[in-house]
Structure 1
Amino acid sequence: MKPIKEIASWQSFFGLEKKKTLCEDCSKRFVRADIKEEGDVLDSVHSLYEYDDAMRDWLHQYKFLQDVALAQVFADELRRSFSNNETIVPIPMHPERARLRTFSHVETLLDEAKRPYIQLLEKTNTGVMGEKSKQERLEMENLFELVPGAVVHPITYRLVDDIYTTGTTLRHAATVLKQAGAARVEAVTLIRSIQK
């Protein structure tokens, strides 16, 4: 990583210019995917970036080495992937995993993107999806339940997660929301991993 060179402007003088979080060379390392699919229980999913070496490094540094400041890197792109009136539901972590990690990576991405969200789901097991094979993921029992007292309206909900691999996590979450009365469940993920 190199220091970011900034050129003085009238916006920077008055504190109106947004600080860059990545230099131009580093930002070019991330490959835009813009994969959009329609499905069954998960009505549609939009993934913004490919899961390549650059994204693997970023995700590891952000999620596992707890470099929370890296949530700023994709804040603008994530913000632009939503309309202003969407009901956003982040994919939650199990409370035990959240305590160990010290922050919720998906909620932090949404906070940096300045997108309001509601927490309707609770994760019911501590299993880590990244440690499971494709077959193990597909065979998992439902991963979520509604937060006690949560009310699901007959509207469209937009799930948000960091990475889409097999889609199991998102389909399980969509199933819970639809069984509770959601009219439609869509999703946005920052990253799309294509498993071979």
Structure 2
Amino acid sequence: MKRNEVENCLLCNSPIDVPVTWKTLLTNEFPRTICLECEEKFEICKTSNEEVTSLYKYNEQMKDYLHRYKFMHDLLLAKVFRYQLHYHLKKTKELIVPIPMHAEKRKERTFAHVDELLNEAVIPYTHLLEKMTTATQASKSREERLNTPQIFQLEQGVIVQQKDILLVDDIYTTGTTINHAKQLLLDAGAKSVKAFTLIRG
């Protein structure tokens, strides 16, 4: 990996001043992509349970990040949390399964945002699910989300019997998306299904 991959903060464009140390020279540590000031605006999430782990709270800084990454199609921003994701997922023994986008939405956005976060973090993953609807949870009220019928199906030929699975998504709000995916996989014979998200809303 290049040490000077990014010279200016991807969020505020101010210069990134990172001193060269023996650690950065001798390890494959991911180079910094945002400045310390921007990094400090993200709030660590302290609310988690055995079923769902989330790294950050959905605050104003994160809202702006998500908007730019997902809806303004700023693919470079997939690099911002790669160290944190790599650190938390690198020793995972479960099969990592990203929550998928509908094919039409994928074509519209030009990239799968969860896949790209994992790619930048150098975390291997496997697709098992297909999304059956183009409707997004963000466009629905809380009540509508909770009453949404099943939105996923298994990809053709997928076998999940006795597998331990870790679902990965960008944000956890009502839990509807994760619960649909979890139920489908458990019904198909998965041994266990847990979830990991970058953000908790």
Question: Which of 85, 103, 128 is matched with 1:120 structurally?
Answer: 128
Over 3 Å counting, the alpha-carbon distance change for 1:13 and 1:78 in structure 2 is closer
Higher relative contact order (CA 8 A, sep 6+): 1
For 2:47, give the aligned amino acid: I
Aligned match for 1:57, one of 61, 64, 67: 64
Question: Cα distance 1:167–1:12, how it changes in 2: closer, same or farther (>3 A)?
Answer: closer
2:118 is the alignment partner of 1:106: no
- Can you give the 5+ residue segments of structure 1 that lack an aligned partner in the other structure? 39-43
Q: Report % sequence identity.
A: 45
The match for 2:145 among 126, 137, 140 is: 137
Per-residue deviation, 1:77: 1.1
Counterpart in the other structure of 1:32: 44
Within-5 A mapping of 1:173-192: 173-192=181-200
The CA deviation string for residues 65-119 of structure 1, in whole angstroms up to 9 with x for no partner, is: 1111111111111122222432100000000000000000000011111111110
Please list every run of 5 or more consecutive structure 2 residues that lacks an aligned counterpart in the other structure: 1-11
Name whichever structure is richer in strand by fraction: 1
Distance 1:131 1:14, change over 3 A: same
TM-score (normalizing by structure 1): 0.90
1:23 aligns with 2:35: yes
Instruction: Indicate the residue corresponding to 2:81 in structure 1.
Output: 74
Structure-2 separation of matches of 1:78 and 1:14: 21
Q: What's the secondary structure of 1:88's corresponding residue? A: strand
CA distance in 1, matches of 2:49, 2:70: 26
Q: Which amino acid aligns with 2:49?
A: E
Aligned CA-pair RMSD: 1.8
- 8 Å Cα contact 1:90/1:161 also seen in 2: yes
How far apart are the structure 1 equivalents of 2:139 and 2:172?
Answer: 14
* Corresponding residue pairs, total: 188
Between 1:120-129 and 1:147-156, the stretch displaced more is 147-156
Instruction: Name 1:41's counterpart in structure 2.
Output: none
Distance 1:156 1:189, change over 3 A: same
Higher mean C-alpha displacement, 58-67 vs 79-88: 79-88
| 1:140 Cα deviation from its structure 2 partner | 0.5
- Displacement, 1:168? 0.2
Aligned amino acid, residue 27 of structure 1: E
The Cα shift of 1:15 comes to 9.7
Matched-pair contact (CA < 8 Å) for 1:34–1:46 = no
Q: Secondary structure at the match of 1:36?
A: coil
